[in-house]
Copies of this chain bind each other. A is one copy, B any other.
């Protein structure tokens, strides 16, 4: 069965108290409205209509970055911010009218927990039971505040009645509307035509569609899911709760695939992250963006990986922060290492304590283990960079590149002033300032002679004075 999707994304979300429209606030690195879209994608929809309104430019530009947005997504604007959900869906009429024989799945942009599998099950029920509509519902012990699913004596769904309009008997109904629906398009079109604004609020409610369908002899039933799957996010507290549920789902998937996660409640792993088996993630680690980690790695306590590729057998020791970089097999990073801006560490590198690597390539088995800044450098294999080394890449106006060959030894507290070339097997004596190129095999040294003035410790003199 081919489907259309409609995602309601026009609301302001004033309880967020935010400059940003609610549906683009993120969970695990994804805008909230991405999640219902992802669920819809699993049905391979013909098109997905986003109904936008409040700050529509921001929502549209966010949605355009989604996968397959070019082929799948169409936008419709709901001009009246108080039009209601029925008015919102009506904006998609041009799309719906093109596909009267199809089915449409209507989701809320602020309900990120709905699963693709659940939509599939609902769709299956629609088809197998020859229904015209399926309402996703849940059973609540205390249904106060929710729209109730009213059935006739045969059990057919008659209408959705809101709390305030419900009779005493109806208020006892425990099956409540989750706000997601599947409808056959033709019946929906008929019903949308008959929707009228509420005399009280002036809003047009999509829920009224159910009563109209029933009155026309169409068959609507429900598909029940756990409560949390239908959870709407109306404020930042609910944002945190929904994010926690998504995170548990994400981590459970990794665990089942053979990843050990220590203190999983303290680990933050965004939605797109991939991790290979026998990798161990220690407490407080944070994995963000498009990051993938290979097999048998260690992600140490509190380490942060962001848009980074880590190959197999890499050890990332605690409190390392790596972004937008590539780490090849067998590297040992950290603790307290900072690697960023398209750096590329080749096999078996060691980058240690308080070392920053920026936009640099580090060759195989090269080591920089302490207190160094390596910026805009191309470094060869088997090179040793001493503690306190700085690659000065900025002269106050421009940035320059330095290239260092294989098997180079750079002594501690050296300063390499870019642009510079250090040949293979060159040796920089500790404390040197390198402001010329150094040919292969050469020793380079800049050093004032050490003078030793016996008995001249100035502190002893001061002591005498005081």
Contact = CB atoms under 8 A, between A and B. Distances in A.
Interface string A379-390: 000001011101
Contact of A390 (B247, B371, B456): B371
Contact of A384 (B18, B256, B396): B396
Nearest to A456: B443
B417 A430 contact: yes
A109 interface: no
B239 A260 contact: yes
A370 interface: yes
Contacts of A171: none
Q: What's the interface size class on A, roughly?
A: 35 or more
A448 B434 CA distance: 11
A116 interface: no
A434 B282 CA distance: 41
Given A268-B263, A435-B450, A454-B441, A258 B18 contact: yes
Interface stretch (A40-48, A121-129, A407-415): A407-415
A415 B430 contact: yes
A290 interface: no
A445 interface: yes
Given A237-B252, A261-B240, A373-B387, A452 B436 contact: yes
A36 interface: no
B445 A450 contact: yes
A435 B429 CA distance: 11
B452 A444 contact: yes
A411 B386 contact: no
A284 B262 contact: no
Contacts of A446: 447-451
A462 interface: yes
A262 to B, nearest CB: 7
15 contacts: A235-B256, A239-B260, A240-B262, A263-B266, A265-B265, A266-B283, A302-B302, A353-B356, A353-B373, A370-B373, A370-B390, A387-B392, A396-B459, A427-B459, A443-B458
Interface of A: 15-20, 25, 235-237, 239-240, 243-244, 247, 252, 255-266, 268, 277-278, 282-284, 286, 296, 301-302, 304, 318-319, 321, 335-336, 338, 353-354, 356, 370-373, 375, 384, 386-388, 390, 392, 394-397, 409, 411-413, 415, 417, 425-427, 430-436, 438-439, 441-460, 462
Given A413-B433, A427-B457, A443-B452, 18 more contacts: A15-B256, A239-B255, A266-B283, A338-B354, A353-B356, A353-B373, A370-B373, A384-B394, A396-B462, A413-B413, A413-B415, A415-B430, A433-B447, A441-B455, A442-B452, A444-B450, A446-B447, A446-B450
